[in-house]
Amino acid sequence: MSKAFTREPDAADDDEDAATGGLVIPAGAKNYMTPQGHAALRSELMQLLDVERPKVVEVVHWAASNGDRSENGDYLYGKKRLREIDRRIRFLTKRLSVAEVVDPSLHEGGDQVFFGATVTYANQDGDERTITIKGVDEADALAGEVSWVSPVARALLKSRVGDEVVLRAPGGDTVLEVVEVRYPRSA
């Protein structure tokens, strides 16, 4: 079969997986985001459009005017950086266009786990851990934030303080008990 008829993954697909840590939004699901996460992505998009891209375009224009482009490092690096910026702009634009901003402070005072909750849970050994459930594009595992599509968040969603839930993981099932649920205060 001719190589022309085989489908190879697009570079955009690879970028999307890399940008979200490999977590993808399930088909038909919305891209839930906190107001702070939405503002941060929007700010990054505006920074790229208004500041970084124009600077790189100016450098590439200057480098192109110097003549031979094949050995011009400024030109070659500038073109590469421009492609990276354009790829990130496309990604951010796409993500922001399908984002559904959810304000977790609406559940303040509640004891049920929803998007945006900070949940303290205990495993079978009694070890406690605290996580905050956030959107795919804003979760940061090092800061104790997990995506709402992660296995632990899926197990905890809609449970209440005192409930026991089963976390199904490749290493086996684990029972988790919800100890505390907190939401940010409304502004």
- Looking up residue 125, the CATH number of its domain turns out to be 3.10.50.30
Whether the predicted pLDDT of 6 surpasses 60? no
Residues 124 and 159 in one domain: yes
Whether the predicted pLDDT of 153 surpasses 60? yes
Residues 122 and 78 in one domain: no
Residues 94-125 pLDDT 10s: 999 999 999 998 888 888 999 999 999 999 88
Residues 36-59 pLDDT 10s: 999 999 999 999 999 999 999 999
User: Could you give the 3-state DSSP secondary structure of residue 160?
Assistant: strand
Is residue 23 in some structural domain?
no
Range of the domain at 45: 8-18+29-101
Q: Can you list the positions of beta strands (E) in the chain?
A: 31-33, 99-101, 118-122, 128-134, 145-147, 164-169, 172-182
Is residue 115 in some structural domain?
yes
Number of structural domains the chain divides into = 2
Report the alpha-carbon distance of residue 164 to residue 15 in Å, rounded.
37
Is residue 149 in some structural domain?
yes
Q: Which two tokens stand for residue 118?
A: 């900070």
pLDDT of 23: 61
Angle at 30 between CA 36 and CA 99, to 5 degrees: 40
pLDDT of 29: 73
Residues 82 and 118 in one domain: no
**Cβ-count burial of 147 within 10 angstroms (0-12 exposed, 13-18 middle, 19+ buried)?**
buried
Whether the predicted pLDDT of 17 surpasses 50? no
Write down the pTM of the prediction. 0.77
pLDDT of 155: 95
Task: State phi, psi for 92 to the nearest 5 degrees.
Answer: -65, -40
